[in-house]
Amino acid sequence: MPFLQAAPVLSNQYLDDRVLRSYLRRVLPRTMLGAIEPDLTDLGEYAANAWTLARTRERSEPKLTQWDVWGERVDRIELTPAWIAAQPLAARHGLIAAGHEATHGTHARVHQFALVYLFHCASEFYTCPLAMTDGATTALKASGNQRLIDRALPHFLSRDPEQFWICGQWMTENAGGSDVAPTETAAREENGRWRLYGRKWFTSAINAQAALALARPAGAPAGSDALALFYLEPRKPDGRWRNIVIDRLKDKLGTRELPTAEIHLDGAPAELVGEPKFGVRQIAPVLNITRTWNAVGALATMRRCIALARDFGNRRVVFGKPLAEQALYQDTLAGMQAEYEAAFHLTFFVTELLGRVQCGQADESQQNLLRLLTPLAKLWTGKLAVAIASEACECIGGVGYLEDSGIPQLLRDAQVWPIWEGASNVQALDFQRALRAAGGLQSLLTAQRTILSQVQASELEPCARAVRMAATAIAEWLQKASAGERHRLEAGGRELAFGLARTFALALLARHAEWALRAENDPRPGAAARRFAEHRLLRLKPDGLRDATMLASDSY
């Protein structure tokens, strides 16, 4: 008998998901859950099958053909089979619509993001344009531009695959990604119509039927305040580009199925979304929505990696018994699971807040809380997804390092979470921007205390204690850092953001554990909370700047 290893398999990704299902039972009305469960089950089945299918067929990537055989510039893009399947699937499951429809009131966002979480790993990052489309929907609604609302939203929110459109977000240029102030794309008004001229350096999902772009109106001063936000439909009904040239598709570490392009705009017709300035303020709703999608996608990556490592542990026998029965393997999985469960509750709490804010049912403190927690969730989950993907790769060992196991792709793809939509340091700085606007941590600390007051079980006391101790340490650190120069606070910004995210997440996980114990007699969330509390919550440095300048510029 030759030595064989059994490949990990996935069962229905909804029915098999204890964490998601337990959470939905707590937060959703029973009738609503009953109504949406068949759809969640369908997507869970699709996700499991897509994993098997992806392992058995030839890998494909989008292909750009710039010239046709007769010498005409065509810039035609062929999409992967999963991308072709994704558009009708996204429309039919309402992956954007569900988040905006009134049917489930304030629960609309929880419903939508449960769908997104199940779909993401089967989507080959089709969730990227979906995220941008959701963001564009939110930004256009906020703009009050009725013409564009009437034009674009019926497409973005359609459940009809024939009508459904996706929307790109064209911000990044050669001169700047994190900092958009040096944007060089110019907008000129010609014969009563705006036209854009310039180069966009990263345009994700270039096949989108619409896009939002930042550009500087001719004659406007330098700086980011002078940028304006424009809406475009990049192609004519016959598919030809409207004064846009696709220079190339990017050769990326991961997300290779996603057609990310470098483009030239050579008089592309566009429409102003709002006033011809303050475009960053107008595109900010897109950033906050896509950052939420980012956190949900990162969570989906973690869940997928843990599911594969766990299943592998049941199949792989070493030293005479399955890995799953070995103490150190169990301990490794437990650590991953605890981190993921905490991240899950933080991320889905953000979606709950988003639903309430969107329905006008959030007071000022809850609005502040959403603004504060969004960059924290994006920052922490992005980093954690890479760590968990790396750990899962190691769990599966040598085979996990081989391309056709599918695990390296998960690891490479995971690396995008901390980068796009603003890298970790951008999130840390955005959190400080939000903190200044909110006038401090009050809304976050008050919410955390309220959540913690619902944790009564004695077995969860170590968790409550860990939250209280961390909150005190953070408040003291912040008070000291805020009293100094701003760059001292900035230097500690990453650790402050991680610490707050982890502490708030522990409070949420402990609250869910309390409910699970009482309502379902399930001790597992409590075990996850205790385990997470044992992990380090904070790594605040007494002085973020001490030694940093010297070490950062180190050379022989």
Q: In terms of DSSP H, where are the helices of 144-201?
A: 146-156
Please answer whether residues 316 and 6 qualify as being in contact, where contact means their C-beta atoms are separated by less than 8 angstroms.
Answer: yes
Q: How far apart are CA 307 and CA 311, in angstroms?
A: 6
Please answer whether residues 169 and 224 qualify as being in contact, where contact means their C-beta atoms are separated by less than 8 angstroms.
Answer: no
> Which CB atom, from 167 or from 460, has the smaller least distance to ligand MFK?
167
Q: Nearest distance from residue 287's CB to ligand MFK, in Å?
A: 5
Q: Nearest distance from residue 181's CB to ligand MFK, in Å?
A: 6
Q: Nearest distance from residue 227's CB to ligand MFK, in Å?
A: 8
Q: Nearest distance from residue 119's CB to ligand MFK, in Å?
A: 10
> Which CB atom, from 229 or from 284, has the smaller least distance to ligand MFK?
284
> Which CB atom, from 137 or from 204, has the smaller least distance to ligand MFK?
204
Q: Nearest distance from residue 523's CB to ligand MFK, in Å?
A: 33
Q: Nearest distance from residue 97's CB to ligand MFK, in Å?
A: 17
Q: Nearest distance from residue 180's CB to ligand MFK, in Å?
A: 4
Give how far the C-alpha of residue 256 lies from the chain's centroid of Cα atoms, to the nearest Å: 17
From first CA to last CA, the distance across the chain in angstroms is 57
> Which CB atom, from 135 or from 406, has the smaller least distance to ligand MFK?
135
Q: Which residue is nearest to ligand MFK (CB)?
A: 224
Query: Residues in the site for ligand MFK, rule: CB under 6 A?
Result: 127-128, 131-132, 169, 171-172, 177-178, 180-181, 204, 224, 278, 280-281, 284, 287-288, 290, 293-294, 297, 420-422, 426, 430, 433
> Which CB atom, from 122 or from 528, has the smaller least distance to ligand MFK?
122
> Which CB atom, from 346 or from 471, has the smaller least distance to ligand MFK?
346
Phi/psi for 368 (5° steps) reads -60, -40
**β-sheet bridge partners, residue 196:** 187, 268
Q: How far apart are CA 506 and CA 525, in angstroms?
A: 11
- The token pair at 77 is 């893009």
Q: Nearest distance from residue 128's CB to ligand MFK, in Å?
A: 4
Q: How far apart are CA 173 and CA 184, in angstroms?
A: 8
Q: Is 397 left (phi over 0), alpha (psi -120 to 50) or beta?
A: left
> Which CB atom, from 142 or from 324, has the smaller least distance to ligand MFK?
142
- The token pair at 214 is 């930042």
> Which CB atom, from 171 or from 261, has the smaller least distance to ligand MFK?
171
- The token pair at 462 is 């170590």
> Which CB atom, from 171 or from 507, has the smaller least distance to ligand MFK?
171
Q: Nearest distance from residue 105's CB to ligand MFK, in Å?
A: 24
Q: Which among 159, 160, 142, 140 has a CA at the least distance from the CA of 150?
A: 140
Q: How far apart are CA 456 and CA 454, in angstroms?
A: 6
Residue 462 vs residues 202, 267, 405, 456, 472: alpha-carbon distances, Å: 46, 62, 40, 11, 15
Q: How far apart are CA 305 and CA 384, in angstroms?
A: 12
Cα-based angle 415, 80, 42 (whole degrees, multiple of 5): 85
